[in-house]
Amino acid sequence: MKTNFKFLILLVLVAIGFQSCQEDDPIIPEEVVVLPPETATTVEGFYLLNEGNMNMNKSSLDYYDYKSGSYRRNVYGQANPEATLGLGDVGNDIGIYGSKVYAVINNSNKVEVMDAATTKRLKVIDVKNCRYVTFANGKAYASAYDGEVQLGENSPNGFVAEIDTTSLKITRTVKVGRQPEEMAVVGDKLYIANSGGYSPPNYERTVSVIDLKTFTKIKDIDVAINLHRLKADADGDIYVSSRGDYYDTPSKLFVIDTKTDKIKKTFDIACSNISIVGDKAYIIGSEFSYVTFKWKINYSMIDVKKEILLEGSFLPKTVSDEIKTPYGLAVDPFSLNVYITDAGDYVSPGKLYCVDKDGVTKFKVITGDIPAHFAFKYKKTTIK
């Protein structure tokens, strides 16, 4: 009998004990991995934005410092303990302009502006369903799918927001096609790829051209369905990718001459990511055919001066064999180091590889989930 009462008392105590030992829940600090250093040229390091899987709210920022070789994983939380729920959900693009970093956090409906040196938050700019960011003449341009505020509640069209990089306010907006993606500025014109991905099979097929002075759309260039990537080379040519329809229409890459705004060349290659540095475009093409259920991945190069596809792969076979899901890509404009990421299975941490211009692997390091977008940090506040 007595033991039973003791047992009960013990139980009650255990229950109370459970309630009183509410655990601390700290901000998860950054992790530092020491990697081989790089010679700091004009570039002194880069930010890597990890997308994180949708609805997990696990977008994160890593920073690699060339001089010390330290790779700091997950730097945002520690730098911004006051930012509710951290960086947010699905980091879709990142860029540095002047002394500020602009991270486009797609499913958090915001452009997060941070100090490039400290990663501290400067401002949150609300842009619903925002996708990409680019810069010119003291302005940042953000593309977005949803123009509820700007275009009215039911418009399927997207828009581009012009953000003043000093006041960090949206100054002007312009309506473009449906589900607009990547942009590039050539001269006074902004080129933006429209996808129309929300209404298959009625994809968009145009690149919209925006006059930056008047901030109005001056034309649409008919290219192909479901456009996505858009990058400019040094000679004023635009490389724009079409994702196809994932079934019958294959992916392609088009070259537009911005002097005539006409297509001057078509490459029959898939392009899921592209980085143009100097005379070369580095392209990850990975394509899945729902007809054959086969994978097709290539790491190709295009000579953008001659506009020809070069032989071979920009990655050594040892690295390309290791990569399961090639995702992010950036090439250091000075050292010509290739930085490429493997998103793995999308739901666990990915990997970053550094391969130098001779094809030697310098390091590989574990990143956040879905490592995807790079922004090089320049030594002075020079504009890239």
Partner 1 sequence: MHLCENRRFCLKHGGLFLLLWILFWNPIYAQNNLPKNNKESDSLKKHQLNEVIVTTSKREFKVESPMPVQILSGKQLEKLNSLSVADAVRYFSGVQLKDYGGIGGLKTINVRSLGSAHTAVFYDGMSVGNAQNGQVDLGKYSLDNIEAIELYNGQKSTIFQPARGFFSSNTLFLKTKVPDFSSGKTTKIRTSVKTGSFGLFNPSFLYQQKISSTFSLTASADWLKADGKYKYRYQKTNGYDTTAVRQNGDIEALRSELALHAKLGTGQASLKTYYYDSERGLPGAILANKYEYVQRQWDRNFFVHGSYQNSFSKKYELLANLKFSRDYNRYIDPDYKTLQGALDNKYYQNEFYASVVNQYTIKEWWKVSLATDFSINKLDANLYRFPYPTRYSYLGALSTEMHWSRLDIQANFLGAYVDEQVKYYQQGDSQHVFCPVISASYQPFDTKNFRVRAFYKESFRMPTFNDLYYTFIGNSSLKPEFTTQYDFGSTYIIEPKKFLQSASFQADVYYNHVKDKIVAMPSANLFRWTMMNLGEVDITGFELNTNFVFRFPEQIFLDLGLSYTYQKAIDVTPKGTTYGDQIPYTPMNSGTATSSISWKNWQLNYSFIYTGERYSQKANIPVNFVKPWYTSDMALIWDGKFLKLPTKIGAEVNNIFNQYYDVVLNFPMPGRNYRLSMSVNF
Cα–Cα distance for residue pair 283/173, rounded to 1 Å = 31
Give the residue with the Cβ less far from partner 1, 95 or 326: 326
* The token pair that represents 258 in the structure block: 């911005």
**CA-CA distances (angstroms) from residue 86 to 93, 112, 297?**
16, 11, 34
Q: Does residue 296 touch partner 1 according to CB under 8 A?
A: yes
Please give the C-alpha separations between residue 67 and each of 35, 38, 116, 258, 269, in angstroms, as whole numbers: 10, 6, 16, 38, 37
286 binds partner 1, rule: CB under 8 A: yes
CB of 110 to partner 1, least distance (A): 5
What's the CA gap between 320 and 341, in Å, rounded?
Answer: 11
Q: What is the DSSP string of 218-266?
A: EEEEE--SSEEEEEE-TTSEEEEEE-TTSSSSPPEEEEEETTTTEEEEE
In the bound state with partner 1, the residue whose beta carbon lies nearer, of 89 and 233, is 89
Residues 6+ apart with CB under 8 A from 313: 298, 299, 300, 320
**One residue of 64, 102, 327, 378 binding partner 1 per CB under 8 A:** 327
- Given candidates 38, 45, 47, 86, which one binds partner 1 under the rule CB under 8 A? 86
For 378, half-sphere exposure in the C-beta direction (CA atoms, 13 angstrom radius) is: 14
Among 25, 268, 321, 358, binds partner 1 (CB under 8 A): 25
The residue within the footprint of partner 1, chosen from 173, 273, 320, 367 (CB under 8 A), is 273
Residue 344 Cβ, how far from partner 1 at the closest point, in Å? 6
Q: How many residues bind partner 1 (CB under 8 A)?
A: 76
Q: Out of 235, 288, 305, 381, which residue is the one contacting partner 1 (CB under 8 A)?
A: 288
27: contact with partner 1 by CB under 8 A: yes
Task: Give 211's strand partners.
Answer: 189, 216
Are the beta carbons of 245 and 201 closer than 8 angstroms?
Answer: yes
Give least dist CB 13 to partner 1, A: 13
Judged by CB under 8 A, the stretch of 38-46, 62-70, 149-157, 305-313 that binds partner 1 is 149-157
Q: Which residues contact 308 (CB under 8 A, 6 or more apart)?
A: 302
The correct pick among 118, 166, 171, 199 for binding partner 1 (CB under 8 A) is 199
- Pick the closer one to partner 1 by CB: 16 or 308: 16
Q: Is 68 in the site for partner 1 (CB under 8 A)?
A: no
Beta bridge partners of 364: 353
Contact 50, 91 (CB under 8 A): yes
Site for partner 1 in 89-128 (CB under 8 A): 89, 105, 107-110, 124, 126, 128
Helix (H) or strand (E) holding 77: helix 76-79
Q: Which stretch binds partner 1 (CB under 8 A): 14-22, 34-42, 160-168, 311-319?
A: 14-22
Q: How far is the CB of 152 from partner 1 (least distance, A)?
A: 10
Q: Which of 39, 81, 167, 358 binds partner 1 (CB under 8 A)?
A: 81
Shortest distance, CB of residue 115 to partner 1, whole angstroms?
18
Among 61, 74, 238, 373, binds partner 1 (CB under 8 A): 74
* Rg of the chain over all Cα atoms, to the nearest angstrom: 23
Q: Which of residues 31-50 bind partner 1 (CB under 8 A)?
A: none
Residue listed under structure tokens 């369905």? 225
Among 40-48, 192-200, 252-260, 301-309, which window interacts with partner 1 (CB under 8 A)? Answer: 192-200
| CA-based nearest residue to 355, from 371, 324, 376, 332 | 332
Query: Which range of residues in 196-204, 232-240, 258-266, 308-316 is near partner 1 by CB under 8 A?
Result: 196-204
Site for partner 1 in 331-360 (CB under 8 A): 343-349
234 or 347, CB closer to partner 1? Answer: 347
Q: Which residue has the tokens 């901030």?
A: 215
